[in-house]
Amino acid sequence: MAGRPRILVTGFSVFPGAPVNPTEALMAELEARRPLLAHLGALRTEVLAVEYDAVPARLAALAAFAPDIAIHFGLAADAHGFRLERLARNALAPRADNAGRRPPAAAIAPGMPDLPSALPLDALHAALAARGLPVSWSQDAGGYLCNYLFYLSRAGACAGFRPPMAGFVHVPPLDEHAAAPNALPRPALVAGALEIVRVCAQSWRGGAQRPG
């Protein structure tokens, strides 16, 4: 692997219980910096609707971009800093989305296994920690749209959408919207996301992460 990768970075819109989603704001912050990130690769940002039916269709449409790297961000109110998700679980939770759809508790893709993240997680953890940014690990991205997106992206389950390097990162609320002790200042959220993009692009160019 060499050259400039195509990098897709996604966030989510607001959803029931979360009237503000920091990952939506994060996409705007990254989009504003896109010219400054051109040396890393061709960057595309996307805010996804929190709807089970919309996510697969949007991923299929994004297949035309043919991302080499897909970095998905989502909100977790209890996250302490950047929570690196290790495992996409093949499971749905019966929780209503923005359209009111509540799927039954079931497998996302019957007969398929859980799938590990393909992001360079150890390098990401080290880089974020070196910058003094809070970072933690997780083995469970939940059963809601975050894990659903994570699994679809890793499984190549949407027509033509098969980024070789894909994974999910949860972030806490912004301190401008929540008084919680784990809330992040906006500059820290942006700095961490930029570091994640940088490390993933560097890993791609170095060939450390192989398609899986």
The string of pLDDT tens digits covering residues 8-45 is: 999 999 988 778 899 999 999 999 999 999 999 999 99
On the question of pLDDT at 7 being above 50, the answer is yes
Query: Cα angle at 90 between 89 and 95, to 5 degrees?
Result: 90
pLDDT band (50, 70, 90) for residue 71: very high
More confident residue, 3 or 148: 148
The predicted structure's pLDDT at residue 36: 92
Average pLDDT over residues 106-120: 96
3-state SS, 110-139, equals CCCCCEECCCCHHHHHHHHHHCCCCEEEEC
The per-residue pLDDT for 3 is 75
How does pLDDT run across 43-66, given as a tens digit for each residue? Answer: 999 999 999 999 999 999 999 999
Per-range mean pLDDT, top range of 12-21, 90-99, 183-192: 183-192
The answer as to whether 211 is a domain residue is no
Give yes or no for residue 208 having a pLDDT over 60.
no
Respond yes or no: is residue 39 known to be catalytic. Answer: no
Residue 31 among the catalytic residues: no
Classify residue 212: in a domain, yes or no: no
Does the pLDDT value for residue 209 go beyond 60? no
Banded pLDDT at 2 (limits 50, 70, 90):
low
d(C-alpha 43, C-alpha 209), whole Å: 19
Q: Is position 1 within any domain?
A: no
The pLDDT of residue 18 is 76
Please tell me the total count of domains within the chain. Answer: 1
Which of the following is catalytic: 46, 72, 158, 170? 170
Residue 122 confidence (pLDDT) above 50: yes
Catalytic residue status for 46: no
Q: For residue 145, tell me if it sits in a domain.
A: yes
pTM of this structure: 0.94
Q: Which of 146, 158, 195, 200 is catalytic?
A: 146
Structural domain contains residue 137: yes
What residues form DSSP beta bridges with 69?
7, 165
Q: Which two tokens stand for residue 98?
A: 């923005």
* Catalytic residue from among 72, 85, 195, 200: 85
Segments forming the whole domain that contains residue 173: 6-206
Tell me, yes or no, whether 95 lies in a domain. Answer: yes
> Alpha-carbon distance 106 to 94, whole Å?
9
Q: Tell me the CATH number at 114.
A: 3.40.630.20
**What is the per-residue pLDDT across 132-187, written as a single tens digit (0 to 9) for each?**
999 999 999 998 999 999 999 999 999 899 999 999 999 999 998 888 899 999 99
